[in-house]
Copies of this chain bind each other. A is one copy, B any other.
Amino acid sequence: MKALQLGLLGIGTVGSGTFAVLQRNQAEIVRRAGRGIVIKTVADLDTACARAVVGDAAQVVADARAVIADPEIDVVVELIGGYGIARALVLEAIAAGKHVVTANKALLAVHGSEIFAAARAKGVIVAFEAAVAGGIPIIKALREGLTANQVQWVAGIINGTTNFILSEMRDKGLDFDVVLKEAQRLGYAEADPTFDIEGVDAAHKATLMSAIAFGVPVQFDKAHVEGITRLAAADIRYAEQLGYRIKLLGIARRQAEGIELRVHPTLVPTKRLIANVEGAMNAVMVQGDAVGTTLYYGKGAGSEPTASAVIADLVDIARLSGAGEGARVPALGFQPEALAQADALPILPIEQVLTSFYLRLRVADEAGVLARLTGILAERGISLDAVLQRPGDEVAAGQPAATDLIMLTHITREGAMRAALAEMQALPSVLAPIVSLRKEDLA
C-alpha cells in the first residue's frame, strides 16, 4: 500500500521531532500501520532552517498553500500554533479534502466547533492527540478507552511550566517571581510566559477534555481561569503542614445542572499520586462511573514526546483513511449529532462550582475573632474541616499583634464562599486581604 503522504506546516520544536521520529522509527511504524508514513513537503517561512532539519528527505517550500494545493498530499500536519494563520490554513486544508493533524490546543479550544463541522462536511479527519498533555495518549483514553463510562470528572496537571515552578517553589521555599526567572533561564518557561502562568494554556486543554468527557461543544470562553502568579510561598508551606500540595489543575466536572470548567491553583492531598507529579511532567486523572479512578502520566511537552502523539494520530489515519466515516472515532468522541447543546448542559458560572477551600487570614490576635469568622461561615452553610493557628511572621511597630489563621472548609458552593469572604474581609480584625485557594480531594 502506498505510503501516507504528509505536508508539514511549520518545522519548529514539534515539527523537527516529528521528522526525526518518522525517520528513525519508520520500519517499526510500517510494521504497525501496514504502510509507510512519509513527509513529502515541509512549509516554513524560514526555508533555510527547514532545509537544515530535513536535508534531502523532503521538499521545502515557504508557502503553506502550496502544500495544501498538492493533490498528492493526504494529511496536513499543522504545527504553526496560535489562532491566526493556523485557523485559515487548517480550514483551507479541510476544504481541499486533506485530513488534518494538529498540536494546536489554542486553535481547537477557541475555533474547534467551526473546524470540526467543516471537517465533517468534507468527510476528513481532524486529529489532535498532541494538543493535550503531549505524549500521553489521553485523548485516546477519553474518546476510546473509557467509552463505557459516564465520566464524572477530569482533573489534570496539563501545563509543565507551572508544575515545574510549583515544584521548585515547594522544594526551595522560594517565591513565584524568583522561580519564574530560574525557569526562564533553564528553558522551562518562555520569554513571555503569560499563557502558561496565567493558566490560559491549561484552560485550552481542559476545554478540549471537557468536550470529549461530556459530549459538549468546546467553549473556552466559559472557562474560569486563574494562574499561579499570586501564589505565595507561605501558602505552599501551610498547605504542606496540613497534608496538601498545591498544583495548577485543569478541572472539568459534571454536576446535575451543568459542567464545571476551571483552572486554578488547587490543594490536593499529598497522598494522591497526582500530588507527587513533579517538575515539568503532566498527569491527568479521569473518574468514570464504571472504571473508578484512572490516571495517565508522562511528558506533557517537548519535541519527541509531542511528536509521539502526532504520529499516533497519523497511524490511526493510515489505518482508517480508506474506511467509511462510520468506522472513524468522532472528533470529540461523541457522534456530532449527539453532542449536547450548550444550553442543555451548560458550562456553569464559577459561583455554582462545588469545591472546598483553604483560607489564610491575617487577623488581630484578640479574643472572639475566630468565633466571628466561623459564625459568618456557618451562616452561609459552610462548615470547617480544619483550623490551624500560627504566629504571624511580621508585625510592624504600632500595629496590633497579628496572627495567621488557616482554615480548611468542607465542600460548598463557590458563590456562598464569595459572599462569606466579602463579609469576613470587612471585619476590622481582618488585617490583610484574605487568601483563598480551592481544595479538591480527588477521591
Contact = CB atoms under 8 A, between A and B. Distances in A.
A144 B148 contact: no
Contact of A319 (B21, B293, B328): B328
Interface stretch (A295-303, A385-393, A398-406): A295-303
A147 B335 contact: no
Contacts of A144: 137, 140, 144, 312, 315-316
Contacts of A24: 150, 289
Interface in A312-369: 312, 315-316, 319-320, 322-324, 326-330, 333-335, 338
A52 to B, nearest CB: 21
The complex is assembled from copies of this chain, and their number is: 2
A246 interface: no
Given A305-B291, A308-B291, A21 B148 contact: yes
A282 to B, nearest CB: 10
Interface stretch (A31-39, A69-77, A260-268): A31-39
A422 interface: no
A241 interface: no
Nearest to A140: B145
- Which bracket fits the contact residues of A? 35 or more
B145 A312 contact: yes
A338 B36 CA distance: 13
Contacts of A330: 32, 34
B25 A289 contact: yes
Contact of A148 (B311, B320, B322): B311
